[in-house]
Amino acid sequence: MSGPQRALLSVAFGVTLIGARPAVHGAESPRQVTVVGRDYAFELPRQLPPGSTTFRFENRGKVRHELNIFLLKPGVRMEEVVRLRREGKPGAHLVDGPVGVLFAGAHGRSSAGLTTDLLAGRDYAVICVFRDTANAPRHFEMGMYSVIRVGAAKRPARAGPDPDTVVGLDYAFRAPAVLSAGRHWLAFDNKGKVRHELAIRMLRKGITTDSAMKVE
């Protein structure tokens, strides 16, 4: 379809622009993840999808452990955090914030779960800072730390039929010449070098696109 920047599709049909669908209400239940603690290591998934997640802690060791989770700043490696802790230096500048802590005695389980909304593409540190005695090394110094990486966000599946695509050029439209009656999903793809818009109106019977443009 050629002509000026503003084109009128002279066919009667219902139009819904992709991306303008109403939101679907109703939250999904959090994903359940059990982290196992041993003397002295964590068993956990190294990667999880983003979204609401509830962590539970099961201690299969012979001493008390904790599951301490916090969000690392982008690009920070867990080894940097561990090194500063071993040296007794502050490391708050490496952390975006705490998530929470679960505790479990020997051969026990945490009394509650820890629910958080995992952020796509981010890394979460997992660590235990307990000591078995006052002079013993802290558990992370013996290897009890890890990282959970969160995958990228998935694009939600689009329900409904495939869209009819209108292509914008400098300075013309390329679109289906005829569309069937009924509901259609339209996608606008601007392949020009400048910004364009797609404005759609339903014409009265007998009115042509050219005559409508003269009124404009």
pLDDT in tens, 49-98: 999 999 999 999 999 999 999 999 999 999 999 999 999 999 999 999 99
Q: Tell me, what's the pLDDT at 176?
A: 87
- Verdict on whether the full-model pTM lies above 0.85: no
How would you list the strands of the sheet with 65-72, edge to edge?
47-48, 145-150, 123-127, 65-72, 95-104
Structure confidence at residue 157 (pLDDT): 64
Average pLDDT over residues 129-158: 91
Query: What are the start and end residues of each CATH 2.60.40.420 domain in the chain?
Result: 32-150
Tally the C-alpha atoms within 13 A of residue 133's C-alpha that lie toward its C-beta.
2
| Model pLDDT for residues 15-49, shown as the tens digit of each residue | 333 333 333 444 578 999 999 999 999 999 999 99
Using a pLDDT cut of 70, give the percent of the chain over it.
83
pLDDT at 158: 61
Q: Is the pLDDT of residue 10 over 80?
A: no
Question: Does residue 9 sit in helix, strand or coil?
Answer: coil
Mean pLDDT on 162-182: 87
pLDDT for 16: 36
What's the confidence (pLDDT) of residue 196?
86
Mean pLDDT calculated for residue range 126-139 = 96
Q: Which residues, other chains included, contact 75 with Cβ-Cβ below 8 Å and sequence gap of 6+?
A: none
Least confidently predicted of 93-102, 138-147, 178-187, 189-198: 178-187
Q: Does 32-150 carry CATH code 3.40.50.300?
A: no
Other CB atoms closer than 10 Å to residue 199's CB: what's the count? Answer: 8
Provide the 10 A C-beta neighbour count for residue 150. 19
Distance from C-alpha of 48 to C-alpha of 152, rounded to nearest angstrom: 10
Averaged pLDDT score across all residues of the chain: 84
| Cis geometry, peptide bond prior to residue 171 (ω within 30 degrees of 0) | yes
